Amino acid sequence: MDLTYTDEEEAFRAGLRDWLSLVLPELPAKPSPQDWPGRRAYDTAWQRLLYDAGYGEVHWDASPTQRLIFLEETEKAGAPYVGANFVGLLHAGPTIASEGTPEQRDRWLPPVLRGDEVWCQGFSEPDAGSDLASLRTRAWRDGDHYVVSGSKIWTSHAEVADWCELLVRTTPVSESVPKHRGITWLAMPMDAPGITVRPLRTLAGSTEFAEMFLDDVRVPVANRVGEENDGWRVTMVTLSYERGTAFVGEVVACRRVLGELAREARDNGRWDDPALRRRLGRLNAEFSALWRLTQWNVSEAQRTGGVPGVGGSVFKLRYSHARQELYDAAAEVLGTGALDLAHEWTLDRLSSLSYTIAAGTSQIQQNIVAERILGLPKGR
Amino acid sequence: MDFQLDDDQQALKAGMRRLLEGRFSLRDATDRIDRALWRELGDAGFFSLALPEAEGGVGLGLPEAVLVFEEAGRVLLPGPAVATFLAAGDVPGAATGEAVVTAVDGALVPWLEEADVVQGDTSGAVPLRSVDPLTPLHRVPDAGGLDRGALLYAAEQLGSAAHTCETAVQYARQREQFGRPIGAFQAVKHLCAQMLVRAELARGAVYAAAVTGDRLEVSAAKLLADDAAVRNARDCLQVHGGMGFTWESEVHLHLKRAWVRAELGRSARAAEEELAEALTEAP
Ligand SMILES: Cc1cc2nc3c(=O)[nH]c(=O)nc-3n(C[C@H](O)[C@H](O)[C@H](O)COP(=O)(O)OP(=O)(O)OC[C@H]3O[C@@H](n4cnc5c(N)ncnc54)[C@H](O)[C@@H]3O)c2cc1C
C-alpha cells in the first residue's frame, strides 16, 4: 500500500504543470456547449497542442499511473477536456492499436493523435441499447466493399466526426448463429454517400448526439478491424477502455465543485442549515473515497498489464450516482437560482442525468458486477 | 504508486484470518472475554503490532494494523480490541493480551465490567441493555472521550461489510425458489452488487486513510465504513429472507455490532460536520 509516486512520475507531473501554466493562459475562450463545430475546432486544437508538446499519446502509451497524473493535473489546472476527441482517443484509438493491422494503425492513429480527425461511436440502435448484441444494421459483401443499411442512435458528436466505429451484422441471427456472433467492427468514413445525420436535442438543450440513417453506404473491406463476424470480441476491448480510466479527471472536477458549493453556501447564508452541512460533508467523504478507489483501480491495472478491469463497473456505479447527488446539492445551495439556465451548475445538473445511462446503464453495471465479479448465475 | 497490498501485507492478513477462523467461533461467543484467545492474539502480535521492536513490538504501521482489524471485523471478534491495541505500550500487559483494556469513547464504555483497566472518567456510568448481545455497554454522562480509534473501528466495519456481502452471495447461489437459485433474480443480484460497491468504496477510503494518517481521511473512512457495515448487514438479512430474521443466522449480530461501532470512534454527525467545515477553506 503505497500512495507515493516515483521520482520519474513526479518529474512527469512537474513538467506537465510547467507546460500547462505556460499554454493555458493563451487559450481562447471555450465555445458554447451548443456550438459543436466550434467545440470540434477548440478540442482538436487542444489535442494538437498536446501532440506538439509530446503529450499526444498519453492515453495509449503512458503507464496507467502516468495517465492518472495527466488527467489529475490537466483537470486541476482547468485545461480543456478531451471533448470531441473522446471516442478517437479513448476507445476507437486503443481498439485499433490493439486489434488493427499495421496499415490500419498507420492510417488512423496519427491523425487522431494530431487532432486532425475526430471519431464517433455507432454502436447503439433504436432497438438495441442495453442489449447491444441484438443490433440489426446489416452489411452485405459486394466485391471489396461492405454495403451497409440501417440506423444508429445516440451517436455523440456525429455531426462533426470524420470516422465512425460502426457495429454491423454480417451474418443474420439463426439457430446456428447466436446474436453475439455475426457482428463486425468497421471504420466508416462519415463523408460516404448514403449517411444522413439528424441531430437530437438533449434535455440540457444541446445537440451533442444524433440519429444516423445509413442507406447503402459503401465501406471498404479494408476498413474492417478484426475478422468478419468477430466484432463482439473487438467490442469488448472497446468497452473495457470506455469504462476504464475515462472518469479520472471528472472526479477531480467534482471535488473542486464541491468546495465551490460550500463556499457559496457560506456566502449566501445556507450554511447555517445543519442538514445541508451534513449533506456536503458526506459528499466530501464520497468524492475523497472515489478518488482513492480510482487510484486503487489504476494501480491494479498497472500490475495486471494496463487493461482496465471490471473494477471500472464498481466505480462507475457509485460515481454516476454521486455526481447526480452533487448537483442536487448544488440546487439546494442555489435555491431558486437552480432554475436559472444561466448558472453553470444548472446545466451540469441536467447533463449529470446521463451518467447512470450512457456507457451502460446502472442496471446493466449491477448485472456485470453481480455476474462477473460475484459469480451469481446469469438471469434471463 | 502501488496502492495494492504487498506480499508481506497479504501474508499478514491471510495469517490473521487463519488464526481467527481456526480459533474463534461466533456461534459459541458470549459477553465474556475469552482470555485464552486474547492471549493467543497477543502472542501473534495482534496488540503489539505497531510498537517499536525495542519495546517488544513488531514495528509495523497503521496499514498493517488496519489489515488485522479488518480480519477481526470479519469474524466479529468480541472484546475491546481497539482500546487494548491503543493501550499497548502504556498499560502493562496490554501488548501481550494479558490485560484487557477498555476506554471511555464518546458517551459509551464497552466491556466496562470485564476489563482489567479502564481509561477515562467512568463516574456515573449506567449499564445499558446492549442491543449487541456480544458487546456489553455502559453510558457515561457528558464524557468527552478519545476518538483515536476511529480508523480501527472503520477497519472492523470494512471487514464486517465484506463478510456480509460474501455471505449474501453464497446464500443467493445456493438457495432455490421458483426452480432457480435466487441469485439469478435481478432484484437479489442488484442488492448484492450494491453491497460489493459499498464495501469496495469503504476499502479504498480505509486503506488510504491508513497510509496517509490524515485526520479528514480517517473521518471519511469511518463514515463510509459505518455506512457499508450497517447497510450491507441489512441487505444481507434481506437476501436471507425469514432465516435472516432469526437468531439462527449470524446476520443480526453483524448488524447490531455495526450499529454499536458506528457510535464508537467518531459518529457520523461529527465526521460529517468536520468534513463539511474543511470544504469551506480556501482551495
Ligand atoms: C449522453 C449519451 C451519450 C451517448 N453516446 C453514445 C454514442 O456515442 N454511441 C453509442 O453507440 N451510444 C451512445 N449512447 C447510448 C447508450 O449507450 C445507451 O443509451 C445505453 O446503453 C442504454 O440503452 P437504451 O438507451 O436503449 O436504453 P434501454 O436499453 O432501452 O434501457 C431502458 C431502461 O431499461 C433498463 N434495462 C434494460 N435492459 C435491462 C436489463 N437486462 N436488466 C435491467 N434493466 C434493464 C435500463 O437500465 C434502462 O433503465 C449514449 C447515451 C447517452 C445518454
Q: What is the pLDDT of residue B241?
A: 97
Q: What is the pLDDT of residue A210?
A: 96
Distance A314 CA to ligand 1 centre (A): 18
Distance A361 CA to ligand 1 centre (A): 6
Q: Is A262 in contact with B279 (Cβ distance < 8 A)?
A: yes
Q: Which of A90, A91, A118, A124 for mutating ligand 1's site (highest number of atoms within 8 Å of CB)? A: A124
Residue percentage of chain B with pLDDT more than 70: 99
Q: What is the pLDDT of residue A274?
A: 97
- A159 is annotated as an active-site residue: no
* Burial class of residue B255 in the structure, from the number of CB atoms within 10 Å of its CB (0-12 exposed, 13-18 middle, 19+ buried): buried
Residue A219: pLDDT over 60: yes
Please provide the CATH number assigned to the domain covering B149-281.
Answer: 1.20.140.10
Residue A132 CA, closest ligand 1 atom number = 21
Q: Is B273 in contact with A2 (Cβ distance < 8 A)?
A: no
Residue A306: pLDDT over 90: no
Mean pLDDT of A347-367: 95
Tell me how far apart the 2 most distant CA atoms of chain B are, in Å: 63
Which residue in A1, A289, A380 is closest to B205 by CB distance?
A289
Query: A80: which DSSP letter?
Result: P
Residue whose entry in the numeric block shows the C-alpha cell 470540434: A40
Mean pLDDT of A145-174: 97
Q: How far is B114 from chain A (nearest CA, A)?
A: 36
Q: What is the pLDDT of residue B283?
A: 75
Mean pLDDT of B183-203: 98
Residue A308: pLDDT over 60: no
Q: How many CB atoms lie within 10 A of CB A335?
A: 10
Q: What is the pLDDT of residue A192?
A: 98
Q: Binning pLDDT at 50, 70 and 90, where does residue A242 land?
A: low
Whole-angstrom Cα distance, residue A52 to residue A45?
A: 11
Mean pLDDT of A54-68: 87
Mean pLDDT of B210-223: 97
Contacts of residue A288 in chain B, CB cutoff 8 Å?
Answer: 205, 216-217, 220
Structural domains for chain A: 7-114 (1.10.540.10), 119-228 (2.40.110.10), 233-373 (1.20.140.10)
Q: Binning pLDDT at 50, 70 and 90, where does residue B282 land?
A: confident
Average predicted confidence (pLDDT) for chain B: 95
Whole-angstrom Cα distance, residue B71 to residue B232?
A: 17
For residue range B64-106, what is the model confidence (pLDDT) as tens digits? 999 999 999 999 999 999 999 999 999 999 999 999 999 999 8
Residue whose entry in the numeric block shows the C-alpha cell 441493555: B129
Cα–Cα distances in angstroms (integers) from residue A56 to residues A27, A66, A192, A340, in the given order: 17, 13, 28, 38
3-class state of residue A140 by DSSP: strand
Distance A364 CA to ligand 1 centre (A): 9
Q: How many CB atoms lie within 10 A of CB A176?
A: 7
> Do A362 and A321 form a contact (C-beta atoms < 8 A)?
yes
Please state which of the four CATH numbers 3.40.350.10, 3.40.50.720, 1.10.540.10, 1.20.1560.10 is assigned to the domain occupying B7-139: 1.10.540.10
Q: What is the pLDDT of residue B9?
A: 97
Q: Is A369 in contact with B2 (Cβ distance < 8 A)?
A: no
Q: Binning pLDDT at 50, 70 and 90, where does residue B144 land?
A: low
Residue A174: pLDDT over 90: yes
Q: Is B1 in contact with A376 (Cβ distance < 8 A)?
A: no
Residue A157 CA, closest ligand 1 atom number = 8
A21 within ligand 1 shell (Cβ under 6 A): no
Distance A366 CA to ligand 1 centre (A): 14
Mean pLDDT of A273-277: 98
Domain-by-domain residue ranges, chain B?
A: 7-139, 149-281
For residue range B226-249, what is the model confidence (pLDDT) as tens digits? 999 999 999 999 999 999 999 989
Contacts of A212 (CB under 8 A, 6+ apart): A122, A151, A152, A153, A155, A158, A164, A195, A196, A197, A198
Q: What is the pLDDT of residue A379?
A: 79
Q: How far is A229 from chain B (nearest CA, A)?
A: 30
Q: Binning pLDDT at 50, 70 and 90, where does residue B148 land?
A: confident
Q: What is the pLDDT of residue B19?
A: 96
A284 within ligand 1 shell (Cβ under 6 A): no
Residue percentage of chain A with pLDDT more than 70: 97
> Do B105 and B86 form a contact (C-beta atoms < 8 A)?
no
Contacts of B116 (CB under 8 A, 6+ apart): B93, B99, B100, B101
Which is the catalytic residue, given A125, A159, A165, A242? A242
Residue A243: pLDDT over 70: no
Q: Phi and psi (nearest 5°) for A73? A: -70, -40
Residue A287: pLDDT over 70: yes
Residue A350: pLDDT over 80: yes
Residue A305 at interface with chain B, using a CB cutoff of 8 Å: no
Q: Please state the pTM of the whole predicted model.
A: 0.95
For residue range A83-100, what is the model confidence (pLDDT) as tens digits? 999 999 988 998 999 899
For residue range A88-141, what is the model confidence (pLDDT) as tens digits? 998 899 899 989 999 999 999 999 999 999 999 999 999 999 999 999 999 999
Residue percentage of chain A with pLDDT more than 90: 83
Which one of A35-39, A187-191, B30-34 scores highest in mean pLDDT?
Answer: A187-191
Residue B91 at interface with chain A, using a CB cutoff of 8 Å: no
A361 within ligand 1 shell (Cβ under 6 A): yes
Q: Is A295 in contact with B204 (Cβ distance < 8 A)?
A: yes
Average predicted confidence (pLDDT) for chain A: 93
Whole-angstrom Cα distance, residue A167 to residue B208?
A: 41
Q: What is the pLDDT of residue A94?
A: 87
